[in-house]
Amino acid sequence: MPSPMRIYRLINLLSLDVVAGAVVCALFFSRVFQVAVRPFGLIALGLTVWIIYTADHLRDARKITGQASTERHRFHQIYYRRLIILTIAALGLDVIAILFIKQQVLAWGVALSLVVFAYMFLQGSLRFLKETFIAILYTCGVLLLSIPVSTIKLSSVHYILIIQFFATALANLLMFSWFDRELDQQDERYSFVTKAGEGTTRAVVWSLLMLILTLTLIQCIKGVLLAPSLIVGAMSLILLVIFICRESLAKNDYYRLLGDAVFFLPSIYMLLTS
């Protein structure tokens, strides 16, 4: 019988934990913006996130000559055809789910889809911005189910919370790139760190984490949206610990398992406010 760690590693290789994290964060923001989210909206979000991540990994795996250096890309090389079939099936289910979501969400979703297609098309010439674009798309995706239909007027505290979350997502992705930098260079895959260098990337990650903690402090002073801001601040604090302990967590890709798991943390807010 497979161990829980082996099962979770398979979930991570398939990006299913990223999907679950996106759904949790979408529910988190729906609670913040006081919106009731339809199940079909969550299904569409989960399928869309999985399709984007899987398509990106499959494309990278396809371009690599020989055996990939990372376990994730080796997995996508081995199961390439099966994953292609699953991606096509997921795309079909996604189209069906989208037909049942709210009209306001659908309109914004179409606009976001155009941005996704533009990113996929232009990625070759914008490789150094890969992490930034993914963080933007991820943040917009989890906000898509709530902001377009919310009756709450956005104020500075809402924008600060959104910036906190975006910076957390970006710091997470840059950390992953920093950890994978040597393997990316071996496979001739590009990222921010392979373009900007290790020192610059390390400085940007530290700056983002310090920015998040500073914004959390500002929210504490304002006293509005305190609990949601503390949750996102705690996410960045965990990422900070991961980055400080990066040498020990680099073994067996534990940094990736923990880094993706931080996006489950907003579920605490939903439990507290249920």
Per-residue pLDDT tens digits for 101-156:
888 888 887 787 777 777 767 665 666 678 888 899 899 999 999 998 899 988 99
Cβ burial of 89 (10 Å; 0-12, 13-18, 19+) is exposed
Give 171's pLDDT tier (boundaries 50, 70, 90).
very high
Contacts of 60 (CB under 8 A, 6+ apart): 73, 76, 187, 189
Three-state SS at 14: coil
Long-range contacts (CB closer than 8 Å, 24 or more residues apart) made by 181-190:
183/69, 183/70, 186/69, 187/60, 187/64, 187/68, 187/69, 187/70, 187/73, 188/64, 189/60, 189/63, 189/64, 190/127, 190/128, 190/130
Which pLDDT does position 62 carry in this prediction? 87
User: CA–CA separation, 230 vs 156, rounded Å?
Assistant: 16
Q: For 87-101, how does the pLDDT look when each residue is reduced to its tens digit (9 = 90+)?
A: 999 999 998 998 888
Tokens of 132: 């930034």
What is the pLDDT, as a whole number, of residue 69?
Answer: 79
Residue 203: pLDDT over 70: yes
Mean pLDDT within 225-243: 92
Tokens of 183: 């393997």
Q: Return the pLDDT at 218.
A: 92
Summary mean pLDDT of the chain: 87
In percent, the amount of the chain with pLDDT more than 70 equals: 93
Work out the average pLDDT over 155-171: 95
pLDDT in tens, 13-38: 999 999 999 999 999 999 999 998 88
**What does the pLDDT read at residue 127?**
66
Domain boundaries, the chain: 4-272
State the CB neighbour count (10 A cutoff) for residue 239. Answer: 23
Report the pLDDT averaged over residues 222-228.
Answer: 88
pLDDT of residue 44 exceeding 80, the answer is yes
Give per-residue burial for 126-156: e unless 16+ CB within 10 Å, then b.
eeebbbbbbbbbbbbbbbbbbbbbbeeeeee
What is the assigned CATH class of domain 4-272? mainly alpha
